[in-house]
Amino acid sequence: SFAALQKALSSGESILFESLWDVPKALVAAFAVQKTGKSLLLITGGVREDAFFDSLDTLAPSLAIEFPSWETLPGEEITPSPDIIGKRFDALSALLQRKKPSIVLCPLQALLQKVIPKEELKKHLGVWKKGSKIPFGSLPEKLTQLGYKRSTVVSDKGEFAVRGSILDLYPPASPDPFRVEFWGDEIEEIRIFDSIGQKSIGSATEIVLAPANEQLLLQKTAKLSSIAEYLGDDFLVFWDDLVAIEETWATLKNMPGAASPFFYSFDEIFKRLKKEQQLYGAPQAIEDLSPVQLNRERSKHLQGVSFEALGKSFSAQRWYHLFRRPPEDLAEDDSPLLFLNANETEENEIKKQIKEQDIDPASPRIRFERGYLASGFSIPDLPLTVLPNAELTGRKRIRRQKWRGTTHTPAAEFHQLSPGDPVVHFHSGIGKYLGMEKHVNHLGQETEFMAIQYAEASKLFVPLSQAYLVSRYIGTEEAAPTLSQLGSKRWQNTRIAAQQQIVGYANDLLQLYAERAVHGGAACPPDGELMRQFEDDFPYTETSDQLKAIGELKADMMAPKSMDRLICGDVGYGKTEVSMRAAFKTVADGKKQVAVLVPTTVLAMQ
């Protein structure tokens, strides 16, 4: 069967695959690339292909590149996420540099979106390293042309700031911003810094510079291109699921902005792809989806068919594949069994399960390997049955992509002021920010001041060197606060009273924590087997922030002291997974009860 498929691929024929699920589809895609030496463009209907991508990572590591679409629809006047823009330019850059074939996962919307031509993009890409010579004086203009926004403080992707001989830069494809120190026009040092605290957190060897605003470049470029041009002149086109693609196209073409200058029509892109070798995927027998005409001649594994899909007519060789779902009763199946597990804990658990089915794990027909597939399959003719852990336990891996090092609202962004905002000056009290004004300072030099209005139309001008004394007013009521009176002692008295209350509260806390330190706490032992199994059951891949929090949490639990720990993070970033580990460790290792308090019934059920 595979020999027939290889022959058809090598002869450049179009091939139809029916009823392939994710893992066999990934295997066929990797097989096609290996046997033809061509790259493959996998066009999907728009659903994230996590199962395909993760399985492909085991079958053919480093072969796949994801090319996402904008999360905005045609005609919507919404700026695409900088994270998505970074991912798109990262994919295009990787395709420009790769010397080996690739599998590009491309939703239909991403296929229809126009992109910057290859030669044009090369002009905008760059790699900065220590010692690189960059004209420092022209950097602001260069970065602005690439779509970066100049800011006083870099807190979000696509921003840059210049202070003396230091450039802060946050490329969209990078999880963290960079601080670049120049000596003249030469890069002397590259560091990574935290966009929240603005402190350096490590060093870097290089910066991959890419555009920050795709829309801006598209508007400036006279002749646009498609993702197909980045794969060369000879590649495979795999229409992943003809039904899903047709449904997505029916939705997209009826959008109000379907005729956007940034999008190709389906006919335009299909004309470009038609000259490439085609592979078609159908979720079921093609006879159930279209009128079919069969060629009279057929081999054991191939049959010539003509059918209709996507409003077009196609001809291809239907491949009668041998993939089957794994048998439910493994004891009655005497074919070789290959079990895939991510770690030793999973493997030991599977060995226990198959022993219960009267199967000897030490049998010569059984092998255990490390790896992950989203589901299993069987090929009776080989014979071989592949059984990944996900097939036996039903636990699928869920990919959580890490877009950036810090994910909550930066303090710098929160404290940005607009004219009319209430502010607090540390010494003068509550006022209303009027904006920036230029005045002559005490040295006779014209400089910028922050203008703040107080009661009785009084004004205070604060030089930028003292801007740290001014902060946004944060109150508990929606009504505008009463403005302070300049020269009055009322604000000073209010501030002193507040400071005394803070000192008193701090004293109470010190007393409480001293008592807790004296009494001590219950120390949990190190992780046991149950704890390891529990952690292996989580479907998500942990982020570096999660791993750090989990490590610190366990260290606290195993120390002989009373424990307080607050887990902070944005919605969907895995706080519950961290806290559930603490709860489980308390029960399994610490032998104590746990109470979990949540604000809603839905959270309690989860």
Query: How far is the C-alpha of 564 from the C-alpha of 191, rounded, in Å?
Result: 33
Element housing 188 (H / E)? strand 186-193
Query: How far is the C-alpha of 268 from the C-alpha of 259, rounded, in Å?
Result: 12
Mean predicted confidence (pLDDT) in 33-62: 85
Element housing 548 (H / E)? helix 544-558
pLDDT at residue 313 is higher than 50: yes
Query: How far is the C-alpha of 10 from the C-alpha of 71, rounded, in Å?
Result: 37
Q: What is the pLDDT of residue 259?
A: 66
Mean predicted confidence (pLDDT) in 167-181: 91
Element housing 453 (H / E)? strand 446-453
Contact between residue 118 and residue 79 where contact means Cβ atoms under 8 Å apart: no
pLDDT band at 202 (very low <50, low <70, confident <90, very high): confident
Q: What is the pLDDT of residue 571?
A: 65
Q: Which amino acid is at 319?
A: W
Supply 6's token pair: 């290889």
Least confident of 41-45, 108-112, 353-357: 353-357
Tell me the pLDDT tens digit for each residue of 561-584. Answer: 888 899 987 666 788 889 999 999
Q: What is the pLDDT of residue 243?
A: 92
Exposure letters 229-265 (e unless 16+ CB within 10 A, then b):
ebbeeebbbbbbbbbbbbebbeebeeeeebebebbbe
Query: How far is the C-alpha of 399 from the C-alpha of 105, rounded, in Å?
Result: 15
40 CB neighbour count, 10 Å cutoff? 25
Supply 16's token pair: 């139809």
Query: How far is the C-alpha of 451 from the C-alpha of 204, rounded, in Å?
Result: 40
Cα-Cα-Cα-Cα dihedral sign, residues 28, 29, 33, 38:
positive
Query: How far is the C-alpha of 91 from the C-alpha of 34, rounded, in Å?
Result: 21
Tell me the pLDDT tens digit for each residue of 266-302. Answer: 899 999 999 999 999 999 999 999 999 998 777 888 9
Tell me the pLDDT tens digit for each residue of 381-422. Answer: 888 999 998 888 877 776 656 666 665 444 444 456 789 999
Mean predicted confidence (pLDDT) in 349-375: 89
pLDDT band at 36 (very low <50, low <70, confident <90, very high): very high
Contact between residue 23 and residue 221 where contact means Cβ atoms under 8 Å apart: no
Q: What single DSSP character describes residue 342? A: S
Stronger pLDDT, 394 or 92, i.e. the higher one: 92
Contact between residue 239 and residue 276 where contact means Cβ atoms under 8 Å apart: no
